[in-house]
Amino acid sequence: MSFSISGKTAIVTGGANGIGLAIGKHFVDKGANVMFADIDEKQLVHELGRNEDGSATRYFAGDLREKLTLANLLSATIDAFDQVDILVNASRQVLPSDPLNPDDDAVEILLNQNLITSLRLTQLVAKRMMKQAEDREEGSAGTIVNLSSIAARRTHPDLMAYSVASAALDQMTRSMAVALAPHRIRVNAVAFGSVMSASLQGTLKENRDYRADIEEHTPLGRIASATELADAVQYLASDGSGFMTGQIMTVDGGRTLLDPVAAPAH
């Protein structure tokens, strides 16, 4: 089986910064057409330049929590590239939460941002993938990769909302994998530990001791680069993982092998 994604078209959400941006650029480097989607149009233009006809790199700016925005994103992708073969749901948010405060709405916010947005876009894109595959009796109709977190399996009160949303995303991945398997669409997820994302970079600037804490609680003793996560996502998007679906692949440097109440995952 090949790990190639050359010639494929991918939508990557959260594509203006950090992990989503790294995955999208990695895909372009590997020969894919990529639609980068994010709410931050200024940052998209800064990173990618203006949209140009014929370019393998395009962007779409909008609030992906809105149903109409999701429909417009899919339409823009089809207009630009005629098809969509890969969806990477990388748009995510991390918020602290107070588990004892009934007025804390972090759980609701993160379920909407990290789960519902991914679910709705998965449903829309899957329908398009099915339509594209109507005349093909064999082969993959498409692949979907969700970005989750090892926080789904760890306990840290300050990150309860993020943990709940991540756990829900894992279960959505499994459920959609079963629902879409008859249509030859695979759905998997990557649960990552400490990766040098935009949010983690900001945290490390504010708390320099936090890096040492992360490294101490990671058997491999370091924070992963965003490119390492992009490699894992490429594998799940390629034919090389053709018999995998509904799986949550862990990329965490061994962190989940240690005490589950150690430093929180980001």
Least confident stretch, 81-85, 170-174, 211-215: 211-215
CB 185 within 8 A of CB 142: yes
CB 253 within 8 A of CB 193: yes
CB 7 within 8 A of CB 83: no
d(CA 189, CA 29): 22
pLDDT of 61 over the 60 cut: yes
Average pLDDT rounded to a whole number, residues 211-229: 87
Q: Which of 128, 116, 110, 148 is nearest to 236 (CA)?
A: 148
Task: Tell me the domain boundaries of the chain.
Answer: 9-257
pLDDT of 196: 79
- Say which residue, 262 or 240, is predicted with more confidence: 240
Give 28's contacts (C-beta < 8 A, 6+ positions apart): 34, 56, 57
Angstrom CA distances, 225 to 18, 207, 230, stand at 10, 19, 9
d(CA 148, CA 17): 17
d(CA 116, CA 188): 16
pLDDT one-digit tens code per residue, 195-212: 877 777 777 777 777 888
Beta bridge partners of 11: 35, 87
pLDDT of 261 over the 70 cut: no
3-state secondary structure 23-52: HHHHHHHCCCEEEEEECCHHHHHHHHCCCC
Within 10 Å of residue 86's Cβ, how many Cβ atoms?
26
Domain at 9-257: CATH code = 3.40.50.720
pLDDT of 87 over the 60 cut: yes
First to last CA, the chain: 32
d(CA 111, CA 113): 6
Confidence band of 154 (pLDDT split at 50, 70, 90)? confident
d(CA 123, CA 137): 21
pTM of the model: 0.92
